[in-house]
Structure 1
């Protein structure tokens, strides 16, 4: 069976996406491996999913499933130890739970569970597949015939060449110390660290402390989020019908371009979530 595109769930208004209702999809073949996707949203501006790998398994690429796309991507590790590799350059990144990676257009990538435990990874992708940036784009790229997981050019120069390796890396590892941090202008108990802020994708992690709430937010692109921990309340004041939503870990939420919204924490523990906005053009303001 050849390449088959993934489902593309879309929404026309602010929408709560409970974990139990997320669209399921499996992709791959004997050459690429099999990957279990949970696709939260796939609009014409943003693509959010969680993919899973069984312990000790991984994905590579094949003629039908070429893992090189025309998009900016952020991958955040939800659980397990994830090995991310660029098989063209030999780069390898070991990414633990709570850490992320970022890479840009035309970056070949493979992924592996580096223990006997499953790996779950949250992924943001923009421009999204609906624009032709995934499988359609991949089939236009020269096929990578051989894969390597070793950077030979640094052998004999390590660790003296560590700065060069960091500057030329196609896959960036992002830990909390690497994020671009900011505080909400109205309530400094809402803390955000950005993983990426490019022309295509803005992605970050936000923590709302107990009893705090964000300013009213309006984005210039579609936004989708994933709750990591705690209980997050979302207000969509202009939505018809229900305007308050309660989100728990594993739930998602989608906001179309221009939809006003606010985050609040009405419980006694911090609430944290990761978000992606496409295109990455910042806020319009309230």
Structure 2
């Protein structure tokens, strides 16, 4: 099975995307392993999917499916336990539900499901595949012949510094940069020139003030019933549902059902207000 590009669903305006509407796609081959993808959006600015592995499952890389891209990537664990490795450097990190792993372009990565439950991971990827940053770019990179899953120089030196360079950054829930923003609680997980990812918590009975971004946004609901209003579209979302907000579109969040609501958002490329 040779490489084939994934589907690229995109939207002309604000759109509620139910979990059942996400586009299914299987990534991989016998050498790299197979991964189930649920693609929520893959536009000219932002790529956001959920991918899954069974307990004990894994993905690596092969000649056709090379896991090294020209993008910032944020992997947020929705269910299960993710062990992510950089097979070029030997780095290995572990992330549980609610944790995220961030890495930048040209980072080789392999993923392993180490929990009793199936692994489900929300991935934000920018610049997106539509700009040539994924499979086509990966084929231009030198092929990694050997994979390592242990860092050299650690044994006997773990508390004395050891190798300092890190390509994989784990962000625990408590590590987010918190701010009370527009009447809700926002926890920024990562923010670069290409991608900003954060969580939003809306208390029962609260509605956020409207905001706009210079980039496109995909909000994915993780808890409760979260209502989104954007550009004349009003939708109440459950966990697993998402909402796409085009650049420059005013939008707000609300929790109307008497309980707290939470989600995680990715905005690319600019989290700031649109250029005037």
TM-score tier, shorter chain, comes to over 0.9
Q: Please say if 1:175 is aligned against 2:175.
A: no
Deviation at 1:154, TM superposition (A): 2.0
Which residue does the alignment assign to 2:31? 31
Gap runs ≥5 in structure 1:
none
Deviation at 1:115, TM superposition (A): 3.0
Deviation at 1:116, TM superposition (A): 3.9
Deviation at 1:283, TM superposition (A): 3.0
Gap runs ≥5 in structure 2:
none
Which residue does the alignment assign to 1:263? 253
Alignment root-mean-square deviation, CA: 1.3
Superposition pairs of residues 22-171 of structure 1, within 5 angstroms? 22-161=22-161, 165=164, 168-171=165-168
Deviation at 1:217, TM superposition (A): 1.1
Distance 1:194 1:184 in 2: 11
Which residue does the alignment assign to 1:277? 267
Deviations 1:73-125 (A, max 9, x none): 11000000110010001111111011101000000000000134210000000
* Partner SS for 2:187: strand
Deviation at 1:43, TM superposition (A): 0.3
Distance 1:19 1:9 in 2: 14
TM norm structure 2: 0.97
Distance 2:274 2:201 in 1: 21
Which residue does the alignment assign to 1:197? 191
Deviations 1:192-250 (A, max 9, x none): 111111000011111111111111111101110110010001112x33xxx32110110
Structure 2 contact 213–270 (Cα < 8 Å) conserved: no
Moved more, 216-225 or 108-117: 108-117
Structure 1 contact 37–49 (Cα < 8 Å) conserved: yes
Deviation at 1:183, TM superposition (A): 1.0
Deviations 1:52-91 (A, max 9, x none): 0011010000000000000001100000011001000111
Deviation at 1:268, TM superposition (A): 1.4
Distance 1:214 1:108 in 2: 39
Distance 1:12 1:105 in 2: 28
